[in-house]
Amino acid sequence: MATAVAQKKYKKIIDWIIWIIGLVIVAGGLVVIGIHLYVKNSLPTIEGDLTVSILDEDVKVTRDGAGVPHIEASNEADLYRAQGYVQAQDRLFQMDLARRQASGTLAEVVGKSAVESDKFFRTFSLRNAAEKSYDGYSEEMKQILNWYAEGVNAFIDEVNGTSKLSYEFKILGYEPEQWTPIDSLTIGKYMAYDLGGNFAVQAFNHWALQNFTKEQVEELVIEYPEDAGTIIQANLENPVQVAGKINADLLPHEFNGSNNWVISGELTENGKPLLANDPHLGLGTPSVWYQMHLQSPEQNVSGVIFPGVPGIILGHNEKIAWGVTNVNPDVQDLYIEKPNPENPTEFKYDGNWEQAEVRQEPIKVKDGKTIDYEVVVTRHGPIISDFIFEEEQPTALFSMQWTALESTQELEAIIGFNKSSNWEEFKAALEDFKAPAQNFVFASTDGTIAYKANGNIPIRKAGDGQFPVPGDSSEYGWEGYIPFDELPTVINPEEGYIATANNKIIGDDYPYHITNYWAPPYRYERIVEMIESIEIGSIDEKTGKEIKGLTVSDMQAMQSDKKNLYAEEFLPHILSTIKKMDTEGKYADIITLLEEWELFDGKDEGAPLVFNLLMTEIQNTLFEGKMPEDVYEMMPGKFQITDQLLRDAYAGNEGVWLSEAGGVDKVVYSSFEKTIEKITAKFGGTVSKWKWGSYNKLTFDHPLASASDFLAPYLNPDKQSVGGSRVTVQAAAEDGEGNVDHGASWRFIVDMYDPSVAYHLVAPGQSGHVKSKWYDNQLSNWVFGRYHKTVINGDIHKSYILNLHGE
């Protein structure tokens, strides 16, 4: 009896617990549904009719199945207004964040965590340079910038104060301010920063001179300038503090680069040129690129642009196509400035004290006090060393001269590209593209293929851009730029193709200095290897058909190629060391794994996991503990330097760094043992189960995800196992933790036989809205090398039509 009563009692308690749990689940479900509906409510309108009062006439916006907007306008004014409006629909938060980061106003909406970033970009003076550049634009281009801003502001006015404002603004608790032409130009200057800097090279080399022997420094500098004794002495006698002064997290990515190539009709199946391009930039959500098609009576152009900027920077029209890679020239110089002890805003120059410009740049901080901040600008450029002295005034500081801080008018070039119909018109437009310097490849329907480097690349009075130079003498500095007509150029070469991959583009007899920090040649060499492997007239072993020339499919396969020519060079040497040192046969199975590897960085292969992590471990073994962490982070060309040390050592010329570490065999073998220990700890000891893709994960993080563990799984697309590495044509550079956050930010192929169609990939997707069908729908396409077609003439497949009406 008592037992029965107890059972009823317990059953009632259990029923109550189940009821409470169910209530919690229901309540939680309702909260999730509520959040979902709240976020979804800010999705932009992409179908139907909308009134946009700024338009003079109606505009048709058709989004295709990939979410690409095709804008048809009857006049130029409405075309650019609609471009601004549509970009803001899909990417307004990204646009606002970009202008704030580049302008140094992030702390105003993010809080004190962004103060350091704001100080950095205020000092780098991107917005100030944008303001100077605006004054140099033609009235026509100023009008385009203003039309575009009108379109962005029409959308801002429409959503501010309503539930249609994108959820990110609500999370941070602010509304976007009005867009201005200077905002667009500032974003352009930021891209010049991301693609065209070498000040960190000089800062590191300056630090190295103070802390290492001459022999050590000579091996750390790509080409040590034997005739630069006066410059070296000036660096030694005037030390500027580097360690602890530069946030390496704010520096451009070491592997910012790209692939591009163009094939003559002589080598293609249909007799017309093919062009391929895949710029390598940071991978994030949303993409750094926004794909669009712009059509008016004056133009019909398609491609990509940075959100916040009008026009199409890379792409094609009905007559021509173009693409870029980064030249990565030396366009930033540091000067050792000597401040006046009596007035720290005066600096010595040719025996006199010169007053520097002092700009007051107060930094507003969300939920905090406004921070007083000064930017001091010498005749050479802004002081980038700390200028607020906590203890005593330093006797030497760095200022920076940079081509992008001058008045430059890249938008003139971009609009010129869009409307060009042949090489001569395109080349004339290119002359206005001053910063960043790029390797442009070109193709046209008339059969022309061409290449030209562009941009302002300085001619120095002394030095070669590897060390800071004295700022107190007129004997140093710039005396102009390499003339446009003397920059490297190739038109219709006999080989029938042109390719660049950030590799060295000049011969030893080229009369001007561009840089010493070219990318390793492996991607370029593999591209050439693949192009030249096509034997026209031979029989394809797979299909049994005659090969009549290269096709779009061939270009797509090339962009996803994962052959590792880096391993082809170094693996035989490394294996010889491992075999020599592994006297007990401890690593026999791993040696077999490496020996049987066919040198492709496939995601299901185990050998790339060992080789790629080993090459990073070798440089860490040599350098990591020899300098402060932040200095090591900013050390330029770690792989090139390490590779050359290994190359020399295996050729019998072992240098001081390897000798002092015990010799090449000891360094390589100890690094190998550390690598295997790390792999085993993470993936187990069964070598046959090791896979590169288990470590190498394609990552597209949202900027808000890093600030919130709660938001991260909601905003970040799922990581994907992926092949490739930093040296393969399918570039996939990981961050040291296996997160592939740098690689092909856009893939593009166009066949000039029918330039009304092109093949694109913009991962993770077109939209910046987490509830959009186009938020991350192209993620798997990145992994598997799939593309979507974009047409500029004819019917648009799977269309969503939005008609914009003026009042």
Residues 6+ apart with CB under 8 A from 114: 106, 107
Distances (CA, A) of 790 to 310, 314, 320, 795: 19, 14, 15, 10
Q: Which amino acid is at 477?
A: G
**Cα gap 107→65, rounded to integer Å:** 38
Q: In 30-158, which ranges are E strands?
A: 48-51, 59-63, 69-72
Active site residue 772: no
Rounded CA-CA distance 18/430 in Å is: 71
- CA distances to 703, 735, 742, 782 from 283, in Å: 11, 12, 5, 11
Q: Is the peptide bond before 286 cis (omega within 30 degrees of 0)?
A: yes
Tokens linked to 374? 């000064």
Q: How many CB atoms lie within 10 A of CB 224?
A: 16
Rounded distance between C-alpha atoms, residue 378 and residue 347, angstroms: 7
DSSP for 724-745 reads: -BTTSSSBEEE-SSSEEEEEES
DSSP labels for 494-511?
TTSEEEESS---S-TT-S
Q: How far apart are CA 106 and CA 96, in angstroms?
A: 10
Active-site option among 42, 125, 258, 385: 258
Alpha-carbon distance of 101 to 104, in angstroms, equals 5
d(CA 264, CA 443) in angstroms, rounded, equals 8
Q: Where does 391-455 have alpha helices with state H?
A: 410-419, 423-430
Identify the CA nearest to 562 among candidates 612, 614, 517: 612
Tell me the CA distances in angstroms from 271 to 434, 497, 757, one per residue in order.
Answer: 34, 13, 16
CA of 354: how far to CAs of 139, 335, 340, 406, in Å? 36, 15, 9, 20
Rounded to a whole number of angstroms, the distance between the first and last alpha carbons of the chain is 84
Number of CB atoms found within 10 A of residue 350's CB: 9
Amino acid at 610: V
- d(Cα 334, Cα 401) in Å, to the nearest integer? 7
**Run of H or E residues at 441:** strand 438-444
CA 120, distance to chain mean position in Å, is 19
Q: Is 333 annotated as a binding residue?
A: yes
How many Cα atoms sit within 13 Å of 672 on the Cβ side?
24
The phi, psi pair for 653, rounded to 5°, reads -120, 65
| Rounded distance between C-alpha atoms, residue 45 and residue 802, angstroms | 8
Cα separation, 430 vs 441, whole angstroms:
11
Which residues are known binding-site members? 330, 333
User: Which residues are part of the catalytic machinery?
Assistant: 258
Q: Which residues are annotated as a binding site for Ca(2+)?
A: 330, 333
